[in-house]
Amino acid sequence: MKIDLYSATGAKKGSLELPAMLFDAPINEGLMHQAVIRVQGNRRNAIANTKTRSELRGSSRKIYAQKGTGRARHGTIRGNVMRGGNKSFGPKSNANFTTDMPQKMRHQALFSSLSLQAKSGAIIGLEDYPQEMKTKKMSELLGKLPVELGRNILVVLPAKHKGLSLSVRNIPRVKAILVDFLNPEEVLRSRYIVILADAVKRAEEVFGTKKKAEAKEKKPRAEKRAPKKASAPKATKKASTPKAPKKTSSTSKKK
């Protein structure tokens, strides 16, 4: 798949070839949804917190007798059915919403997201950008690119680029991110994705497309040798047991 490539001045320079493994993968909506929920859950902080019966103030004595009053039985005033009492099964601040996901599934969800955006024509290539911190020049460049200002725009960088990162920081709804930290949430929420040419090469290295190709070229490991057949045990001579000495009469001849 090819996309348009633009220079730092906004002029069209040609086209940029995108690797098929990253940008032409099968689209799996269920997997993308699962990956986005995982990212959002791992970022979530538990704020709501309800007090238990032991954390409330109040007496622990039984408010009235168990029998004889004709009323329902009650215990302490801090109970959950009493006004001002504790909350049963309420939210706690120590709740953990983090989930895990295998690496292959995470990568496949990212490839699906990138492929979906590539097929919709939302990805634009940028040849390079100078190390210059000017928000005005970056705004002018975005005005020349086929993007709509005011929509979510994601700029993908191959490595730390101080000039570009600081130039887009003050532009509303424009965000710069390293290719190492790409995730389905950032990709899917963006209306346009401006990716640098070097970031495409870096993505192939990070997500293992080149490593997998090199691994296939390597020779397979030598097959394990078949275990040797166990030989029959050799016949061993029985150890001769010493014979018991013959009993001799201890009687001596009388003289």
pLDDT in tens, 124-167: 999 888 888 889 999 999 999 999 988 999 999 998 888 899 99
Q: Residue 208 pLDDT more than 90? A: no
CB 42 within 8 A of CB 174: no
**For the chain, how many residues are written?**
255
Give the mean pLDDT of 15-38.
Answer: 93
3-state secondary structure 53-72: HHHCCCCCCCCCCCCCCCCC
Beta bridge partners of 16: 3
| Average of per-residue pLDDT values in the chain | 85
Q: Residue 255 pLDDT more than 60? A: no
For residue 10, what pLDDT band results from cuts at 50, 70 and 90? confident
Give the mean pLDDT of 109-135.
Answer: 91
CA-nearest of 110, 118, 205 to 159 is 205
> Residue 90, Cα to own-chain centre: how many angstroms?
29
- Per-residue confidence (pLDDT) for residue 128, from 0 to 100: 86
Torsions phi, psi for 246 (to 5 deg): -70, 140
Question: Over the stretch 37-86, which tens digit does the pLDDT of each residue have?
Answer: 999 999 999 899 999 998 999 999 999 999 999 999 999 999 999 999 99
What does the alpha-carbon distance between residue 51 and residue 37 come to, in Å, rounded to a whole number?
Answer: 29
CB 201 within 8 A of CB 158: yes
Strand, coil or helix: what is 156?
strand
CB 34 within 8 A of CB 112: no
Give the mean pLDDT of 91-104.
Answer: 92
Calculate ∠ Cα 167-171-175, nearest 5°.
Answer: 75
CB 129 within 8 A of CB 171: no
